[in-house]
Amino acid sequence: MKMKMRVMNQEPFNAETPNQYLRSWITANRVFFARNQGQIPEKPIPLSDWSLTIEGEVNKPLVLDFDQICRMPKAIVSNTLECSGNSRSLFEKKASGNPWTIGGVGNAVWGGVWLRELLESAGPKANAHHVAFEGLDKPLGSAKIQFIRSIPIEKAMSSSLLAYEMNGEPLPLKHGYPLRALALGWTGANCVKWLHKIIVLDRPFEGFYMDKVYRKFQQGQDPKTGEVVTGINLKSIITQPDKSEILEAGRVTVLGAAYAGESSVERVEISVDDGKAWNPATFIGPNEPYAWRQWQFLWSVKEKGEYTLLSRATDVEGNQQPINANWNVLGYGNNGIREHAVTIQIS
Amino acid sequence: MKMKMRVMNQEPFNAETPNQYLRSWITANRVFFARNQGQIPEKPIPLSDWSLTIEGEVNKPLVLDFDQICRMPKAIVSNTLECSGNSRSLFEKKASGNPWTIGGVGNAVWGGVWLRELLESAGPKANAHHVAFEGLDKPLGSAKIQFIRSIPIEKAMSSSLLAYEMNGEPLPLKHGYPLRALALGWTGANCVKWLHKIIVLDRPFEGFYMDKVYRKFQQGQDPKTGEVVTGINLKSIITQPDKSEILEAGRVTVLGAAYAGESSVERVEISVDDGKAWNPATFIGPNEPYAWRQWQFLWSVKEKGEYTLLSRATDVEGNQQPINANWNVLGYGNNGIREHAVTIQIS
């Protein structure tokens, strides 16, 4: 019953979740994808040494200990988290960065406090426009740049969590123990781990991880002029059968997931004939805001041969998953429809 | 980040979940309550040695291997499981059995197949009335009686799962690897672990675990004439603050859970004055069939002193959690309102 991840780097630790663990509504903590820029703290910080500071453009800066945070009103929220660069390797044109396939995504039920509650206690000033998060991970590389990201104060006040619990467990060390930010429906880069400082700013934070990366830009374009990666794109993935699997003719159970960031998935359709006909998939499992839907399609297949399965999600606003996502230099936001070839042999 | 259970016995292994892990919607597998009659298999059975047999009053007996089951249409269902004897120790009059407090309950998202699908493949005969489950746990004690339980075929066909996945992980050994039954909304005794045989019967299975225990009976009454323990009773529990905790005056976050078996919880109310006034609690977290609701109540308390907190659940049919549950010899189904004393001291 060992559960293994697909590890891309050890330092920083970057690993994706294999297909078979994407078939449940809950993604187990021990195989939940991990993407880091810095070095994960070697061991959990003693809670007596930890505090959360809220400073900057606020009327009343705060320093809170862990117990104070746990005694605040609790929020429990399901949220699907996706790495900004998930499915980068599936762009036809090569993009720079870790070669994620489809496993840079997972769904968990998080426990914590609404960021709004803390910000309201601190009292943002009228010029407060962005909220920056600083973690305790150690910067790697020669430049030693701390991973700091900021999000607009509207997002921070409306739908952002500080999570200390993940799937009923204390937040694992690998996922930000003791506290991480979660901008619900936004990509992982906006959800700083090992959080210890929140800085309220009158403008977006300026720094490497805001200006040079996590932006969509083209060759020759100044990264800083590119669109910042925020919300998770509408997307569906096929998780069973495995790609290139050889199957027997008959009834084949096709499984997958679909997600839409801050929006909700309305339907998923499957094609087994290269996109000529589309058949509805059926949702299975919980239906909760910000969380993916698991779906299945019972495929009745009689003829042997090579088949390409396609899945396509539509959200509640009627937006449809594109055939091809817009390529960009760093390969962010690839939600294009993926060709999923399988072979059927007569049993 | 160690997570410990409250262990009552090592053989058979019986352990309950401490309060602090009942505060999440997901109960983590490693602290999920365990109640056994037999001995847990020492190691996971190799899947190549395992099969599931369906026999008895069926037209076409079946033997399925694990891969065949995983290739069937998948069901993903959240389900709160409670031990039949949970809260036994909270009856005023002593009842026989393990001294569960409130932690013989937990909520998980399970993956598996609908039992209906398998039964339909086997074709129950017209005289099929009950479905018995046999596990691979080794009987303990001198009598060596295998733990076998049966449920009515209506329950088996309408809302019973065979689960191979628990919270995104393969079903842990302690919880029935590789497969367990789950009669949704019914107590743990109806959900046989390490399942390897299903026997369709023309009447309820007869045996120790059907006739002598898991029935509600009084002193001097023949156990067999007592009501069988099936559905989980309507109940609410307080999980924070801890019982007997000393707190500072001010705003106190009271957390808890409420569940209703096959029904749904409509509301939870809290009293801080021994039941004179009842205040509404707020639900937090997912709302899914068969799963508990997590709730919270923000208690503003100014006066120091001893307080008794009470929580009371009401289901969608208007049934209310009783002040005292009906006592029975083996102490099943205790859903009475629990007095939860705390001390407030001026800070």
Taking the C-alpha atoms of residue B181 and residue B190, their distance in angstroms, rounded to an integer, is 8
DSSP for B137-185, written as a single string: PBP-TTTT---EEEEEHHHHHHHEEEEEEETTEEPPGGGTTT-EEEETT
Q: Is A239 within 8 Å of chain B by CB?
A: no
DSSP for A222-272, written as a single string: -GGGSEEP-BPPPEEEEEESPTT-EEESEEEEEEEEEE-TTS-EEEEEEES
CB B133 within 8 A of CB B203: no
User: What would the two tokens of residue B212 be?
Assistant: 């002598």
Q: What is the pLDDT of residue A142?
A: 85
Taking the C-alpha atoms of residue A56 and residue B73, their distance in angstroms, rounded to an integer, is 53
Q: Is B249 within 8 Å of chain A by CB?
A: no
Comparing CB atoms, the residue among A77, A286, A298 nearest residue B109 is A286
Q: Which helix (H) or strand (E) holds B195?
A: strand B195-201
Comparing CB atoms, the residue among A25, A73, A76 nearest residue B285 is A76
Q: What is the pLDDT of residue B141?
A: 86
Find the Cα–Cα–Cα–Cα dihedral B74, B77, B80, B83, rounded to 10°: -20
Look at residues B257, B27, B286 and name the one whose alpha carbon lies nearest to residue A289. B286
Look at residues B41, B57, B37, B59 and name the one whose alpha carbon lies nearest to residue B49. B41
A109-155 confidence digits (pLDDT tens): 999 999 999 999 999 999 999 999 999 999 998 889 999 999 999 99
Comparing CB atoms, the residue among A1, A44, A170 nearest residue B170 is A1
CB pairs under 8 A between A and B: 110
Q: What is the pLDDT of residue B2?
A: 85
- CB distance B109–A298 less than 8 Å? no
- CB distance A170–B3 less than 8 Å? yes
Q: Is B1 within 8 Å of chain A by CB?
A: yes
Chain A, residues 282-341, CB within 8 A of chain B, namely 284-286, 288, 294, 296, 298
Q: State how far residue B236 is from chain A, nearest Cα, in angstroms.
A: 18
Distance of alpha carbon B124 from its chain centroid, rounded?
A: 28
Taking the C-alpha atoms of residue A181 and residue A33, their distance in angstroms, rounded to an integer, is 16
Q: What residues of B are in contact with residue A72 (Cβ under 8 Å)?
A: 253
Residues β-bridged to residue A253: A298
3-state secondary structure of A207: coil
Q: State how far residue B21 is from chain A, nearest Cα, in angstroms.
A: 7
B233-260 confidence digits (pLDDT tens): 999 999 999 999 999 999 999 999 999 9
Q: Is A27 within 8 Å of chain B by CB?
A: yes
Taking the C-alpha atoms of residue B102 and residue B105, their distance in angstroms, rounded to an integer, is 7
- CB distance B24–A165 less than 8 Å? yes
| Site from B40, B165, B169 to mutate, A interface, most A CB atoms within 10 angstroms | B169
- CB distance B294–A44 less than 8 Å? no
Q: What is the pLDDT of residue A346?
A: 80
**pTM exceeding 0.80:** yes
Ordered by where they begin, the domains of chain A are 6-228 (3.90.420.10), 235-345 (2.60.40.650)
Weakly modelled stretches of chain B, pLDDT under 70: 347
Q: What residues of A are in contact with residue B27 (Cβ under 8 Å)?
A: 168
- CB distance B76–A285 less than 8 Å? yes
Query: What is the chain B residue with the closest CA to A112?
Result: B24
DSSP for A56-79, written as a single string: ESBSS-EEE-HHHHHTSPPEEEEE
Strand-pair category, A246-248 with A340-345: parallel
Weakly modelled stretches of chain A, pLDDT under 50: none
The one-letter amino acid code at A327 reads: W
Q: What residues of A are in contact with residue B76 (Cβ under 8 Å)?
A: 24-25, 284-286, 294
Q: State how far residue B121 is from chain A, nearest Cα, in angstroms.
A: 14
Query: What is the chain B residue with the closest CA to A255?
Result: B74
Q: Is A25 within 8 Å of chain B by CB?
A: yes
Find the Cα–Cα–Cα–Cα dihedral B196, B202, B205, B210, rounded to 10°: 130
- CB distance B76–A21 less than 8 Å? no
A250-294 confidence digits (pLDDT tens): 999 999 999 999 999 999 999 999 999 999 999 999 999 999 999
Q: What residues of A are in contact with residue B45 (Cβ under 8 Å)?
A: none
- CB distance A44–B165 less than 8 Å? no
Query: What is the chain B residue with the closest CA to A286?
Result: B288
